[in-house]
């Protein structure tokens, strides 16, 4: 298994739009967490040979992995990589990503992360507007984002991604263009852009239900997405996936593995694993996960074996999410009505979504799949 994901479920508070599997904690039970993850890894791990070689990407996602003390991160990187690593020669090429919130990044922590082997940090910036950050229930202000980027660079971590959220309710008067300019001015290597969605049982969902805020609107979503596409492309970024743009050579190798259907292993509460045909996911809640591991039970909550048809649909969907696109070998020939609407382009035998196509990705995949089923 060459791609390893570690889910760190802890957060200091819940952001207004978030429905992730998190555990809100003032005190992070770091020792218990590290022990549980390493036990999960050890209990089901068949050893390097059966895993298919050394780990090439390790990704700490959450939750808020930057809430773990640096020595806990050091232990995890060391134990997880060393147990699968055939030697220092293979180490140079590993991508080791940590998701971090700006308020957790200090020069000392950044140095400790770098010493632990972290060479890529994904920062949850979301916006450079303090009023918007407050509305989102974020724990940082805009000034912390720049300070975090400088601290990371000072520690030798140059591969930095910023997450930004767009498509916010109109009443916030968020200036998306200004936020994109502020992000660009920090000269990070990567940006991930997420449109705001209203998930059930989140604070945002409740605000909308009682009329305290407006639901995000589709027109604004589309305008802001297309604006980001134009500006970032003009600034030298390549949208290599529907929500992700990078300078040349700085795409996320870990996430690219997901989008190309490669197997991966996930550890920690709510983590998913995939072996090419079967997807497994762990118990969502930290307490349930912790108890299962402590009692020597499997942390897997359930699994789903994909049928050949599901695998094919997923392959098409994932390929069209990326800049690489889908090979136009039969049965996926370009569909004239979709081409004429400007949602696809065909180039070098591959079908690729345009930015306008990416805005309709789900319906395009369905249309393409339905069409191929009816082809003679
Ligand atoms: S920090 Fe991230 S995971 Fe935690 S509540 Fe906020 S959005 Fe969700």
Which residues have C-beta atoms less than 6 Å from ligand 1? Answer: 11, 14-15, 18, 20, 22, 62-64, 101, 124
Parallel/antiparallel/unpaired status of strands 326-327 and 23-24: unpaired
Q: What is the pLDDT of residue 333?
A: 65
Atom of ligand 1 at shortest range from CA of 139: 1
Question: How many residues are recorded in the chain?
Answer: 376
- The residues of the chain scoring below 50 in pLDDT are 45-50, 87-90, 373-376
| pLDDT, tens only, 39-49 | 999 886 444 43
Q: What is the pLDDT of residue 375?
A: 46
Q: What is the pLDDT of residue 54?
A: 81
Q: How far is the CA of 133 from the centre of ligand 1 (A)?
A: 12
Atom of ligand 1 at shortest range from CA of 17: 7
Instruction: Calculate the average pLDDT of the chain.
Output: 91
Q: How far is the CA of 355 from the centre of ligand 1 (A)?
A: 27
> CA–CA separation, 33 vs 37, rounded Å?
6
> CA–CA separation, 315 vs 219, rounded Å?
29
Residues 204 and 320: beta-carbon distance below 8 Å = no
Q: Give the residue whose CA is nearest to atom 6 of ligand 1.
A: 15
Ligand 1 pocket: which of 7, 8, 11 to mutate (most atoms within 8 A of CB): 11
Q: What is the pLDDT of residue 261?
A: 92
The pTM score is 0.93
Q: What is the pLDDT of residue 327?
A: 86
Q: How far is the CA of 13 from the centre of ligand 1 (A)?
A: 8
Atom of ligand 1 at shortest range from CA of 136: 6
Atom of ligand 1 at shortest range from CA of 18: 8
Atom of ligand 1 at shortest range from CA of 101: 1
Q: What is the pLDDT of residue 363?
A: 85
In the 8-state DSSP scheme, what is residue 14? -
Q: How far is the CA of 62 from the centre of ligand 1 (A)?
A: 7
Q: Give the residue whose CA is nearest to atom 8 of ligand 1.
A: 18
Ligand 1 pocket: which of 19, 25, 64 to mutate (most atoms within 8 A of CB): 64
> CA–CA separation, 171 vs 166, rounded Å?
14
Q: Give the residue whose CA is nearest to atom 3 of ligand 1.
A: 63
Atom of ligand 1 at shortest range from CA of 99: 2
Q: What is the pLDDT of residue 293?
A: 97
Q: How far is the CA of 162 from the centre of ligand 1 (A)?
A: 14
Q: Could you tell me which residues come within 8 angstroms of residue 244 by beta carbon, excluding any fewer than 6 positions away?
A: 190, 191, 192, 193, 251, 252, 255
Q: Give the residue whose CA is nearest to atom 5 of ligand 1.
A: 14
Structure tokens at 57: 């990407």
CB atoms within 10 A of CB 374: 6
Parallel/antiparallel/unpaired status of strands 120-126 and 238-241: unpaired
| pLDDT, tens only, 166-196 | 999 999 999 999 999 999 999 999 999 999 9
Q: How far is the CA of 88 from the centre of ligand 1 (A)?
A: 35
Atom of ligand 1 at shortest range from CA of 14: 5
Beta strands in the chain (DSSP E): 3-8, 10-11, 23-24, 57-62, 95-100, 120-126, 159-166, 190-195, 238-241, 244-246, 265-267, 272-274, 278-282, 300-305, 326-327, 344-347, 350-353
Q: How far is the CA of 17 from the centre of ligand 1 (A)?
A: 9
Structure tokens at 11: 């957060």
Q: Is the dihedral of CA 49, 259, 236, 132 positive or negative?
A: negative
Q: How far is the CA of 197 from the centre of ligand 1 (A)?
A: 14
Q: What is the pLDDT of residue 362?
A: 86
Q: How far is the CA of 15 from the centre of ligand 1 (A)?
A: 5
Ligand 1 pocket: which of 12, 28, 62, 202 to mutate (most atoms within 8 A of CB): 62
- % of the chain exceeding 90 in pLDDT: 78
- Going from the C-alpha of 205 to that of each of 171, 216, 217, 220, the distances in angstroms are 16, 11, 14, 19
Residues 127 and 151: beta-carbon distance below 8 Å = no
């Amino acid at each position: 298994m060459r791609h390893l994901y570690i889910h760190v479920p802890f957060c200091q508070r819940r952001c207004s739009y978030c429905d992730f599997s998190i555990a809100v904690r003032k005190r992070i039970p770091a020792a218990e967490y590290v022990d549980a993850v390493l036990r999960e890894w050890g209990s089901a791990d068949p050893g390097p040979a059966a895993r298919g070689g050394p780990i090439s990407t390790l990704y700490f996602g959450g939750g808020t992995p930057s809430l773990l003390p640096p020595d806990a991160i050091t232990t995890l990187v060391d134990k997880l990589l060393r147990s699968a690593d055939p030697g220092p020669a293979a180490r140079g090429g590993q991508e080791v990503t940590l998701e971090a919130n700006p308020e957790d990044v200090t020069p000392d922590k950044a140095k400790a992360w770098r010493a632990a082997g972290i060479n890529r940090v994904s920062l949850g910036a979301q916006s450079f507007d303090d009023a918007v950050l407050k509305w989102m229930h974020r724990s940082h202000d805009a000034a912390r984002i720049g300070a975090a980027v400088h601290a990371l660079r000072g520690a030798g971590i140059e591969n930095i991604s910023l997450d930004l959220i767009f498509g916010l309710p109109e009443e916030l008067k968020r200036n998306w263009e200004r936020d994109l300019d502020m992000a660009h001015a920090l000269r990070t290597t990567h940006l991930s852009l997420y449109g705001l969605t209203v998930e059930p049982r989140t604070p945002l969902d409740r605000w909308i239900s009682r009329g305290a805020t407006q639901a995000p609107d589709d027109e604004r979503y589309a305008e802001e997405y297309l604006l980001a596409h134009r500006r970032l492309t003009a600034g030298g970024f390549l949208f290599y996936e529907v929500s992700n743009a990078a300078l040349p050579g700085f795409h996320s190798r870990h996430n690219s593995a997901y989008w190309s259907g490669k197997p991966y292993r996930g550890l920690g509460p709510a983590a998913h694993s995939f072996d090419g045909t079967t997807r497994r996911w762990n118990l969502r809640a930290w307490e349930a996960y912790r108890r299962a591991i402590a009692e020597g039970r499997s942390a897997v909550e359930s699994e789903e074996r994909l049928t050949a048809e599901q695998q094919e649909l997923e392959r098409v969907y994932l390929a069209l999410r990326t800049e690489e696109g889908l090979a136009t070998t039969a049965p996926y020939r370009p569909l004239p009505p979709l081409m004429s609407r400007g949602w696809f382009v065909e180039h070098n035998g591959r079908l690729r979504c345009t930015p306008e196509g990416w805005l309709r990705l789900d319906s395009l995949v369905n249309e393409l799949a339905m069409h191929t089923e009816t082809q003679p």
